[in-house]
Amino acid sequence: GLVNNKYNESKAKYSLIVLLMAKAAAGKNQMKGEREVDGIYPSQRSLAEITEIIHMAQMIHTGVVNLAEPITSEDDKELQLGNKMAVLIGDFLLAKASTGLAKLDNTQVVQLMSEAISELMEGEFLHSTVHDVIKVECKDYVNLWKQRTFLRKGSLLSKSCQSVLKLVNHDQELQMIANNFGRYLAYTQQLSLELKALQLDDTGSQVNNTSLTAFLALQNCKDTSALLTSNTEFYKHQKETLDEVKDIYETFKWKLLDYLKHFQDGDAKSALEKIVMTNVNEVEMFDLQAMK
Amino acid sequence: LQYNQAYYIFGRAIANRFCTKAQTYQQPDASFNKELSILLTNIRKELVTLLPQLQEISNYLFDERGKQIRPMLVYLMAKACNYHTDPENKSTLTNSQSAIGVISEMIHTASLIHDDVIDAAHIRRGKPTINSIWGQRKAILTGDYILSRATIALSKLRNERVVKVLSQVLDDLVQGEFMQLGSKEDRGERFNHYIKKTFRKTASLMACSCQAVAILSDPLNQFLHDIAFNFGMHFGISFQLIDDLLDFIASDDIMGKPTSTDLQLGLATAPVLYASDQFPELDSMIVRRFTHSGDVQRAREIVDQSDGMNQTKRLAYFHRDEAIRFISQLGESIERNALIQLSDDIVTRQK
C-alpha cells in the first residue's frame, strides 16, 4: 500500500498529500498518453517531488539569520559561510523546481506553483511578531491568522493539490475542491503545531506567539500588555480562548471531511481521512491541565 | 545624451550609411525610448503586492540607473527577427516579446540581489545594497519573490517552449555561482572553467532571451532561433570579458561599484589567468584566492606589467566578431545593424 501505518500522519509531508490527492481522484479524468502506475501518472509524481523541493527551499531561505556587515569576527565568518551556502542551495532547489515545472508542459501549472512561491515569500513580510499584530488593530483576528497561515503554508499545499489534478485534466470544480482541501489541511496542521508547542513549553518563559490562541486572546482580553508579557501560565487561565480555538478547529475538520466526500472510496481517500483525524485527535486531546 | 540614447542614434547613422534599401519605418529612436520607459512601469506592475516593505524592497533596484543592456538586446533582437521573418510588415514588437524584456530584466535583478548577499557587497549601482539596508534574510526572500513573479509573467505567455528556454537560465545562473566557488587546479582546465562559468553567469540569460524572442517571432524557424542564441552567447561572453577587464582599469567613481572587487573576492578572471602564463608566481596566489596580505596589490601590479589585459581585449574582440558574424545572417534591418553596432560598443566602452 501507499501508506505506511507507522508514519506520523500529523506530520505528513506535502509530497505525500499531493500523491494521495492524485490517487484519490484517479479514474475521473480522461488522460491519454502517459502510463499511470497505481492510479498516479509520472507527471503527478514529478509535481509531488517539486512541491517538496519548493518546501525545502523555503525552509532553507527563511532559516537564514541576519549577520551584521561588515563581517569581521571569526565566528561570524563561519556563519557567513553558512548563509552563503543557504542562498546557493536554496537557489539550486528553486532552479530545479523551475526546470522541473517547465518540463511538465503545462503553463497553467507553472503559473499556479510560481504563485505559491510568490505567496510563500509574501508570508514572510506579513506581521511577523505579536507586536506587529497589535499595531494593526484589526477587527477579525481569526481572519488575520488564516491569512498569515495561508501565505506561509496553505498556499503551497492548496496550489499543489490543485495542480496535481490539473495536470491530468480533472474538471475545474474538483480542482477547486482539492485546492480548498489543501488550504484547510494547512490550517489544521498549523493549529496542531501551535497547540503542541504551547503544551510542551515547560520553561514558563514568554511565548512569542502569533498563534491563533494568541490572536484570540488578543481579541478577548482588552489588556494587550498582559499579552506581551504572557507565558504559558497566562494561557492556562484562558479557558474561554482555548475553547474558542477548539471550536474553530471543529469547523475546519468538518469542512475537510466534506471536501473528501467528493472523492471516491479507496486506499488514498482513507489515508487522507486518517490524516485529517489524526490532527483532530491531537487537538481534542489538548489538555489545559497537561500544560506545564 | 544618455548612453543608450546616443547608442541608438549612432546605430541608425551607421545603418543609413550601409543600407541599400530605403527603410520606411517609424522613427525608431522615439519608439525605442518609449519601450524602455514603459519597461520599468511594466516591471513594477508585475511586482505589485499589498505588503508595503516587500513592495519597497522589490522596487528598489528598478530605477533608471541600470545599463539596461538586456532590455535593449531583447528589443532589438525581436525587431530584427520580426523583420527577417516578414520584411513587408513594420517589424513591430509583439506583447509577448515585450514581456521577455521585462522577464529577463527581473531575472537579472533577482540574481544581482542574491549575488550581493553572497559577496557581502555594500554598494550596487551607486547606492547601498539591499542586504546592507534591510539585512540578508529579507534580501534573499525579496530576490526569490522577484524571481517567482518573473516566472508567473513567463507562464502567462502560454508558450511551453519559451518557458523551458528561460527556466534553463535559472539553472545556469546557480551552476555558474557554484562554479565560482570551486576551482580547477590544472592550469589547462582553468581557462575553460572560467569561460564556462562566464557563459552560465552572464551569457546564458542573454542567449536565452534572444532565443525566446526568435521563437516568438517564427516558431518553426530553427535557423533563426540558433542565430539568435549564438549571437546572445557571444555577445554576453564579450560583455563579461570587458567587465572583467574594466575591474582592473577603471577607478571607483566611473563604475559605480568599487573595483578590484574580483581579486578581493578571490576570483581569477581573464586578465589574471592570461598574466599567469607569463608570471607563474600568480599561480599560488590564484590557488589561495589572493587571501594573503599584499596578494591583491601584487596581482594588480603583475597584470599591469603583463600582456594579460591586451589578450583579454583580443578575446573580447573575437567574440564580438563571432556575434556579428551570426547576426549578419539575418535580413538587413535598422535593428540588425544596431545590434552590430551594439556589439562593437560593448567592447569599446568605458563602464
Nearest CA in chain B to A82: B118
Is A64 close to B53, i.e. CB distance below 8 A?
no
User: Which percentage of chain A shows pLDDT scores above 70?
Assistant: 73
End-to-end CA distance of chain B: 15
What is chain B's Cα-based Rg?
A: 20
- The pLDDT assigned to A30 comes to 56
Cβ-Cβ contacts under 8 Å, A67 against chain B: 136
DSSP state of A153: I
Classify residue B128 by its DSSP letter: E
Tell me: the pLDDT tens digits for B58-77?
Answer: 999 998 776 678 999 999 99
Q: For an interface test with A, give the residue of B148, B165, B173, B289 to mutate (most A CBs within 10 A).
A: B148
What residues in chain B have per-residue pLDDT under 70? Answer: 1-33, 66-67, 90, 184-185, 250-259, 350-351
Cβ-defined contact of B136 to A83 (cutoff 8 Å): yes
- CB within 8 Å: A107 and B158: yes
**Residue B74 pLDDT:** 94
The answer to whether the pTM exceeds 0.90 is no
Whole-number pLDDT of residue B96: 95
Segment A23-44, tens digit of pLDDT: 999 876 656 566 778 788 999 9
CB atoms within 10 A of CB A71: 16
Q: A93 CB contacts (<8 Å, ≥6 apart)? A: A53, A54, A56, A57, A60
Q: Which residues of B touch A70 (CB under 8 A)?
A: 120, 122
Three-state SS annotation for B276-288: HHHCCHHHHHHHC
Please answer yes or no on whether A122 and B181 come within 8 Å at the CB atom.
Answer: no
Q: Which of A64, A70, A115 sits opposite B152 (nearest CB)?
A: A115
Distance from CA of B304 to the nearest CA of A (A): 30
Distinct helix (H) and strand (E) counts, chain B: 18, 2
CB contact under 8 A, A107 and B163: yes
Residue of B nearest to A107 (CA): B155
Contacts of A83 in chain B (CB under 8 A): 117, 136
Residues of A with CB under 8 A from a CB of B: 61-62, 64-67, 69-71, 80, 83-84, 86-88, 90-92, 94-96, 98-99, 101-103, 105-108, 110-111, 114-115, 117-118, 121-122, 124-126
- CA distance to partner chain A, nearest, from residue B344 (Å): 33
Whole-number pLDDT of residue A232: 59
ipTM: 0.88
pLDDT value of residue B236: 96
Q: How do residues A173-212 score in pLDDT, each as one tens digit?
A: 999 999 999 999 999 988 888 877 776 655 544 455 667 7
Query: pLDDT tens, B164-217?
Result: 999 999 999 999 999 888 776 677 788 999 999 999 999 999 999 999 999 999
- Which residue of A lies nearest to B114 if distances are taken between CA atoms? A87
Spans in chain A with pLDDT lower than 70: 1-12, 28-34, 69-71, 127-137, 199-210, 218, 221-237, 282-292
**Burial (Cβ within 10 Å: 0-12, 13-18, ≥19) of residue B13:** exposed
Per-residue confidence (pLDDT) for residue A109, from 0 to 100 = 97
Beta bridge partners of A206: A231
Q: How far apart are CA B229 and CA B323, in angstroms?
A: 10
Do residue B160 and residue A90 have CB atoms under 8 angstroms apart?
Answer: no
